[in-house]
Amino acid sequence: MILIRRPFSAIAWCVLCASFTTGRASVCDDPGDEQYIAAGLVDHGTSVIESELGETSQQNQNLQVLLVSNTNRLHFGFSHHYTKFNFESIEPQTNAHLHTSSFPVHWYIGGRRDVRLAVAPQLSASSNVLGHPRKYRSDTARLALALVWQNRLTSKLRTWYGVCGDYRFGGYALYPTAGLAWQPRPDWTVELGFPSSRVGYDVTERISTGLGIAPDGNEWHVMDRDFARESRFVYESYALEWVVDLQIGSRFSLAAAVGRQFRNRYEMTLLNGDRVDLASEPVTRTGAEVRWRF
């Protein structure tokens, strides 16, 4: 996503939580206080599957919208994440065109908005399932959630801790989140935490850059072409990404990214019915995003 493009403040730190990568957004991250619509694309190179069983490449397309209430206490929106896997020499049960639609709602509590409660109803399935609601089952519709406290220790230092539940590690996981954000100078931020960390720097008023790392997995309900068989497709990975952001005028910005996708693992059912657990080598990823604030 887009990096901070002006001197950091307490609010800007929150924006950075959700804005270091061109990958999918997580309900665990603070969405920031800007209303926006953003569209992004990420391409992965070809990765060799373990024991040279085959190869795979990947493309992600993302659309996100965030709206903010007049009181600034309620943030809500929509996101759609489309992932296409191209496998060679192996045949998954699904066509590997995978979609996740999410409807996040973030509610800020307390006089200083120091507690954030978030929920995100989601639909996550292969393209043929998503277009046929009668084929939905319990793991097609799901709920991600987060409860996070933050504490501003000084004007340059804040901490946060809480609990999150989502699919960024592949299958559903309920996990702790905690971290520390430090602003040594107005143009620098260092944020160390779990499950993600990042460093951001304002080069000029219009150009900013950053480096971040975070889990980038998901899970989908999939079916074969004839709707005769169904299973789960699980993907696990981490993304290390460097992003450069350019602000154009007061509302538009463009971002470009390059990074590495590593610890790639795939749990899937093949067309012949075999359930497999495969890994592939690290791969380079490149991405771009356009964002409009309103």
User: Which positions ≥6 away from 270 have C-beta within 8 Å?
Assistant: 90, 91, 92, 93, 276
Helix (H, G, I), strand (E, B) or coil at 71: coil
Q: Which residue is listed with tokens 């996740």? A: 100
Q: Is 83 helix (H, G, I), strand (E, B) or coil?
A: strand
CB 21 within 8 A of CB 1: yes
Residue 112, pLDDT score? 81
As given in the structure block, the two tokens for residue 97 are 């065109």
Q: To which H or E segment does residue 14 belong?
A: helix 10-17
Alpha carbons 143 and 178: distance in angstroms, whole number? 21
The neighbour count for residue 165, using CB atoms within 10 Å, is 18
Task: Return d(Cα 41, Cα 82) in angstroms, integer.
Answer: 10
pLDDT computed for residue 52 by the predictor: 83
β-pairing, 197-202 vs 188-194, is antiparallel
Predicted local distance difference test score (pLDDT) of residue 22: 58
- The C-alpha atoms of residue 104 and residue 120 are separated, in whole angstroms, by 4
Architecture of domain 10-293: Beta Barrel (2.40)
- What is the model's pLDDT at position 56? 96
With a CB cutoff of 8 Å and minimum separation 6, the contacts of 55 are 46, 47, 48, 49, 87, 88, 89
Q: Under a CB-based contact definition with an 8 Å cutoff, are residues 175 and 195 in contact?
A: yes
Helix, strand, coil: what percent of the chain each, to 5?
5, 65, 30
Looking at residue 25, what is its pLDDT? Answer: 77
Q: From first to last of its 294 residues, what are the pLDDT tens digits of the chain?
A: 333 333 333 333 333 433 445 556 789 999 989 999 999 999 999 999 998 889 999 999 999 999 999 999 999 999 999 999 999 999 999 889 999 999 999 999 988 889 999 999 999 999 999 999 999 998 899 999 999 999 999 999 999 999 999 999 999 999 999 999 999 999 999 999 999 999 999 999 999 999 999 999 999 999 998 999 999 999 999 999 999 999 999 999 999 999 999 999 999 999 999 999 999 999 999 999 999 999
What is the spatial distance between Cα 214 and Cα 231, in angstroms, rounded to a whole number? 27
Per-residue confidence (pLDDT) for residue 128, from 0 to 100: 93
